[in-house]
Chains A and B, each alone.
Chain A
Amino acid sequence: MNSWFADPQLILTGAITGFVFGFLLQKGGVTRFNVIVNQFRLIDFTVMKVMLTAIMLGGLGIYTMKSFGMDFAMHIKSTDILANALGGTIFGIGMVVLGYCPGTGVAAIGDGSRHAIFGVLGMILGAGVYAEIYPWIQIHILSVGQLGKVTIPSQIGISPMLFLIILLIVATVPIALSKQKAIT
């Protein structure tokens, strides 16, 4: 019986991943309050650039490995429309008040942010609060619009690769245009 520590290999691989993740977040500038808040003020698009690049290349790699027959688990979360939408909206409000999201907030402590420490303490309390209200949420919110572990391409009936290519084109056009504007 071990209620504290997982297999050392899991702890080690998690630690390496976390180190690299934190390193990249700092180098990307997203451990900074001003960068995060100015994304939501539509002034600095760093957050969106980092995320969309990671999403598109990440998706291309994962679905390519899958198509070559590599066997690994997917980690698709359930779609519960009301909970995803309402939770995401509350999350966006909290992200602007705090100035970080959970991952960047924890990383920001290592980058010298003192107020992020209070943000993380708030997160732990928030998690405790959520555990208390969970039974009510389960009945009234999580039950609305449950679609299971679905993906957008599976729902509209196209291949993930085709969807990613469309996404790549749609996302690259504004970037190309903004670059052009910057040059002239």
Chain B
Amino acid sequence: MKKPILKQSRWSPYTVGALLAILSWITFAFMGKALGTSTTMVRAAGAAERLVAPDHVENTSYHTKYLGTAESPKPVLEWQFSLVLMLPLGAFVASKFSSESFRESVPSLWVSRFGSNKAKRYTFAFIGGLIIIIGARLAGGCTSGHGLSGGMQLSTSGWIFLAAMFAGGVPTAFFMYPRSLDKQKGASS
């Protein structure tokens, strides 16, 4: 017998895609917003820097663009920041509905190529995060802002971004995780 929908650990990618589309219709039509996440990282960085070096932030044009100036500040915790803060809770509740107790420090695919050292994985996750945001800010958005929201508005920038994301990601993935890994795994298990 099929489990009730909320208890299923995976939904069809087409169902999830369709529900994300509906979520976007609502944010566009009723909130005047488009899904996005990476600008929040800039607000977070700027707000953190402002606590220790307010003058520096005041003189950094990329920060005042989002946080405003001392005379006319813009809020840190706005729509998108609030969205980003709630992402983990949404994912947590979704995983609890299907009674998953998934814990991952080092992913299995990473282990098969680079071993199970946690510090090594954490370091590369940190470096990956650093690279990804520099890319996102340079491009002007990430997978949600450019990819989903830009893609569905058929914006040229969004589609250039999506093509470039695969152009950068696919060779990196083949270099980091060659196809031969799967054969080795099959042989050793």
Seen from chain A, the residues whose Cβ lies within 8 Å of a Cβ on chain B are: 1-6, 10-31, 33-34, 37-38, 40-43, 46, 49-62, 65, 70, 72-81, 83-99, 101-116, 118-132, 134-135, 137, 141, 147, 149-153, 155, 160, 163-164
Beta-carbon contact of A23 and B129 below 8 Å: no
- Tell me whether A41 and B168 are in contact in the complex, defined as CB-CB below 8 angstroms, given that A107-B87, A122-B129, A127-B137 are known contacts: no
How many A-B pairs have beta carbons closer than 8 Å: the answer is: 520
Given A125-B130, A126-B41, A126-B134, A77 and B157 contact (CB-CB distance below 8 Å)? yes
Q: For residue B175, which residue of chain A has the nearest CB?
A: A96
B88 touches A107 (CB 8 A): yes
A interface footprint on B147-164 (CB within 8 Å = 1, 0 otherwise): 111111111111111111
Minimum CB distance partner of A151 in chain B? B154
Q: Digit string of B110-149 for contact with A (CB within 8 Å is 1, else 0)?
A: 1000000010011111111111111111111111111111
Q: Within the complex, what minimum Cβ distance (angstroms) separates A135 from chain B? A: 7
Q: Which residue of A lies closest to B133 (CB)?
A: A126
Within 8 A of A (CB), among B1-30: 8, 10-11, 13-14, 16-29
Contact B140–A78 (Cβ < 8 Å): yes
Size bracket of the B interface = 35 or more
A132 to B130, CA, bound (A): 14
Query: For the complex, is B187 an interface residue (Cβ under 8 Å from A)?
Result: no
A91 lies within 8 A of B142 (CB): yes
Query: Contacts A3-B67, A33-B110, A54-B17 given: A92-B169 contact, CB under 8 Å?
Result: yes
Within the complex, what minimum Cβ distance (angstroms) separates B168 from chain A?
3
Q: In whole angstroms, how far apart are the Cα atoms of A106 and B88 in the complex?
A: 6
Q: How far, in whole Å, are A153 and B154 apart by their CA atoms in the complex? A: 7
| Bound CA–CA A62/B34 (angstroms) | 11
Quick one: closest B residue to A138, CB to CB?
B61
Residue with the greatest number of chain B CB neighbours at <10 A, chosen from A1, A55, A91, A107? A91
- Say yes or no: A134-B62 contact (C-beta < 8 A), given A55-B151, A59-B153: yes
